[in-house]
Amino acid sequence: MKNQDCDRLIDYLEDRLSTEEKKEFETHLQTCTDCQEVIELMGDLPYLSEPAEPSEGMKSRVLGAVFEEEHRPAATERVVTKRKKRNWMGLSLAAVLFVSLLGNIYALTWLTEGTEEAVALEEIGLEPNGSFTGNAAVSIVKGTNEELTLTVEATELEPLQGDAIYQVWLIADGEPMPAGYLSPDSTGTGVALFTLGQELDAWDTVAITREPQYGNKLPEGDIVLSAPL
């Protein structure tokens, strides 16, 4: 029923389709020239706008906010260390994470707005690769602002040599994106927080690698722990 498929175009543009419906429509899109043309038009229509002059300093404010987000406690490069080792595996991970995070000054700052109503959506244990002996679990938490946060808590991580660091990655169709670091304390414990925005569906795997240095944009080291999302 071609027309019915085409009528979904409007919902597609409004980003209202479920993941399944979106996939179905995108299959239709591959063969429907009319729908393809409308999608292409979306890249032309804004040129109908009257030129508006950005206010002074807008670029630095916008990009500053982007990179500031990255450096917030919930963002990629925040490393939380020196936490006490405890046996959390038998408890509710979400509860433990929130209690422990509330005691952490970095996380407290970040959670100020939404602690009371934050909801843990998923709690997943990561599987060690080969002979690796450490443990880790991730929790996906939705704050009151609908923003999702990935929290990775690891214990019994093997000590690191030199500049090496454990790095967290989110992977979509084999393509990794950096999602924080774990710098274990003397007991092998570390926590990383990463803001996901509002979409979880884009990612299929979370993994931790042992990287030779801080700051890698793509993994160089082997995966030591991983789990499907």
- Which residues of this chain interact with other proteins, rule CB under 8 A? 3, 6-7, 9-11, 13-15, 26, 29, 34, 36-52, 54-55, 58-59, 61-63, 65-67, 69-70, 76, 172, 175, 177-178, 195-199, 202, 217-218
Q: Kindly state the smallest distance separating residue 159's Cβ from other proteins, in Å.
A: 27
To other proteins, the closest distance from the beta carbon of 36 in angstroms equals 7
**Comparing C-alpha atoms, which of 83, 61, 220 is closest to residue 157?**
83
Nearer to other proteins, 43 or 162 (CB): 43
The CB-of-203 to other proteins minimum distance in angstroms stands at 9
The tokens describing 28, both together, are: 């239709």
* Cα distance between residue 57 and residue 202, in whole Å: 33
- Nearer to other proteins by C-beta: 93 or 192? 192
Please report, in angstroms and rounded to a whole number, the separation of the first and last CA atoms in the chain. 34
Q: How far apart are the C-alpha atoms of 91 and 83, rounded to whole Å?
A: 17
Q: Which is nearer to other proteins, 42 or 105 (CB)?
A: 42
How far apart (Å, rounded) are the C-alpha atoms in residues 223 and 169? 10
Nearest approach, Cβ of residue 98 and other proteins (Å): 23
Residue 100 CB, shortest distance to other proteins, in Å, is 25
What is the nearest approach in angstroms of other proteins to the Cβ of residue 59? 6
Q: Which is nearer to other proteins, 98 or 169 (CB)?
A: 169
- Least Å distance, CB 197 to other proteins, is 4
- The radius of gyration of the chain from alpha carbons, rounded to an integer in Å, stands at 21
Q: Which is nearer to other proteins, 7 or 127 (CB)?
A: 7
In the complex with other proteins, which residue's Cβ is closer, 20 or 105?
20
Q: Quote the tokens at residue 74.
A: 């919930």
C-beta of residue 79 within 8 angstroms of C-beta of residue 190: yes
Q: Which is nearer to other proteins, 62 or 91 (CB)?
A: 62
